[in-house]
Structure 1
Amino acid sequence: MSDAALSALLAQVFPPAVARGICAVARADMARLFHVEHSAVEGAVPARQREFAAGRIAARQAMGRDLPVVMAEDRAPVWPAGVTGSITHAGGWALAVAGVADKLIGIDLEVDAALPAEVWETVLTASEHAALRDMPDAGRWARVIFSAKECAYKAQYPRTKQLFGFEVFEVTLEPVAGEFTVVFQRDIASFAAGDRLRGRYSIGGGFILTGIA
């Protein structure tokens, strides 16, 4: 996978108004971290440090500004005033998207592989199980659902600040349009049961990308 291929994948998922950043983990330069960022991972193994650095470098590309994105006590990124964004890592790459504060934005990148059968019961609702039953390559589509839930969780978290499990979201895929809908199954802070988040997904180059903006 190349930067250009990932850029194309991002363009299929996010509208032009959403700024994006890409950084290969192998090329991440720890020297580009601000002290407040570096201190958050100074005790981590080198691989985790490089992954963290790649995410912050991608975030700065997306913001178009050389500002720190610190890590809160809950490990969520804290974006500079006036900015909201989301960061993801997978398969040796880090991606970030950024937009105007108070907007919902989320991103998740997954390696294009079947979701292991042993986690289906944790990730999927009964309705999602039923929808996959008649789909070819169900394991891959289970991974798309997993990614959509991860993406939706990141999008809503800055607003709710609540931790919850996969069962709170139910995902409906629209393969022809490359879109998905995430429905809250119970009240979560400012969201009510039945509230919906809409997103897009794309598959290519060995990756699955989901986005909400």
Structure 2
Amino acid sequence: MDDLAALARAARDLLPQGHGLGVTDPRAAHPAFPGETVAGVAKRQSEFRAGRHAARAALAELGLPDRPIPAGADRAPIWPLGLIGSISHSDRLCLAAVGRGRGIGVDLEPAEPLEPQIHRMILSPEDRGSEGAVISGLETRLIFSAKEAAYKAQYPLSRQLFDFQTLAVTVQGDRFEARFRRDIAPFTPQSVLQGRWAQVAGHFLCVVAL
């Protein structure tokens, strides 16, 4: 099984029923789609087109036609009315999920340790547990990915930017919880988002659905 097929299989296991899924290789050539533009260097444009190609594949699974998915002023995708979606990519894998729920967040990260100098930025005190355990770089990468997925899932409701310290993540087996540590309306401290994760094709894949 190649990496894209493995990613698709893992994502389907994590996503709730009723969501469309698309996977692409951001290194491949994906033609620009009318009505979509993004500024930036060639690599950024290639990643953008790959993400939108995956998103249209996800829409097709829901029986919807090709259409532009432009970026809003906040750079978030503008999805067709009644739908919500999420896109994530690494240097060699890209996926998009689209559904009709309140929010969906997917995040794909290389399963490699994060540099020690940025652990403090990512980890809240609660992420380390009640005994302040030392968290490895690989564990920090997984927590980073879980927080990214949770942030993407809640953003359509809050429309607020916030830092990694706003969420505390607890991982148990193939599931995790992301708890708010302060008010981010409509979420309050102690509001909890439920997520699932898998390790596939050398990556961590995290999914949060609301």
Identity percentage of aligned residues: 38
Supply the distance in 1 between the matched residues of 2:157 and 2:125 (Cα, whole angstroms). 28
> What letter corresponds to residue 152 of structure 1 in structure 2?
A
2:27 match: secondary structure:
helix
- Report the alpha carbon displacement of residue 52 of structure 1 after superposing the two structures with TM: 0.2
Query: Does the aligned pair in 2 maintain the 1:12–1:202 contact within 8 Å?
Result: no
Query: Does the aligned pair in 1 maintain the 2:12–2:21 contact within 8 Å?
Result: no
1:78 match: secondary structure:
coil
2:94 match: secondary structure:
strand
Please show how residues 143-182 of structure 1 align to structure 2 within 5 Å: 143-175=141-173, 178-182=174-178
Q: May I ask how many residue pairs the two structures share in their alignment?
A: 203
Query: Does the aligned pair in 1 maintain the 2:4–2:93 contact within 8 Å?
Result: no
Q: What does the per-residue CA deviation read over 1:165-199, in whole Å, with 9 as the maximum and x for residues that have no partner? A: 11110000012xx0000101111111111111001
Unaligned runs of at least 5 residues, structure 1: none
Query: Does the aligned pair in 1 maintain the 2:24–2:54 contact within 8 Å?
Result: yes
User: Does residue 188 of the first structure (1) align with residue 187 of the second (2)?
Assistant: no
Supply the distance in 2 between the matched residues of 1:103 and 1:127 (Cα, whole angstroms). 27
> What letter corresponds to residue 78 of structure 1 in structure 2?
I
- Report the alpha carbon displacement of residue 2 of structure 1 after superposing the two structures with TM: 2.3
Unaligned runs of at least 5 residues, structure 2: none
User: Does residue 27 of the first structure (1) align with residue 28 of the second (2)?
Assistant: yes
| Stretches of 4+ aligned residues off by more than 6 angstroms | none
Query: Does the aligned pair in 1 maintain the 2:31–2:49 contact within 8 Å?
Result: yes
Question: What does residue 18 of structure 2 align with?
Answer: 17
- Report the alpha carbon displacement of residue 80 of structure 1 after superposing the two structures with TM: 0.8
Supply the distance in 2 between the matched residues of 1:151 and 1:71 (Cα, whole angstroms). 19
> What letter corresponds to residue 22 of structure 2 in structure 1?
G
- Report the alpha carbon displacement of residue 134 of structure 1 after superposing the two structures with TM: 6.3
